[in-house]
């Protein structure tokens, strides 16, 4: 079994969190999904930066 922890958030933040959830999704599941979605966005930004800013050479030229 996973250890549980508590965090303190305002009622307003809790309401916003639950608005972002899907029916039947627990607060933990909502938070985990948001973290995973944010990680994907962050990785996408990093890759786009590399594609825009770095120079690429054909393998034959290396």
Report mean pLDDT in 10-residue bins for the chain, 62 residues.
Answer: 88 98 96 97 93 85 80
For residues 34 and 18, the answer to whether their CB atoms sit within 8 Å is no
- pLDDT attached to residue 3: 86
Domain housing 36: 24-51
- pLDDT attached to residue 30: 98
- pLDDT attached to residue 2: 77
In a domain, 12, yes or no: no
**Total domains present in the chain:** 1
In a domain, 30, yes or no: yes
For residues 26 and 18, the answer to whether their CB atoms sit within 8 Å is no
In a domain, 34, yes or no: yes
């Amino acid at each position: 079994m996973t250890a549980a922890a508590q965090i303190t958030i305002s009622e307003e933040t809790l309401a916003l969190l639950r608005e972002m959830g899907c029916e039947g999704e627990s607060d933990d599941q909502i938070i985990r999904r948001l973290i995973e979605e944010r990680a994907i966005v962050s990785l996408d930004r990093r890759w786009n930066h590399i594609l825009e800013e770095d120079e690429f050479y054909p393998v034959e030229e290396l």
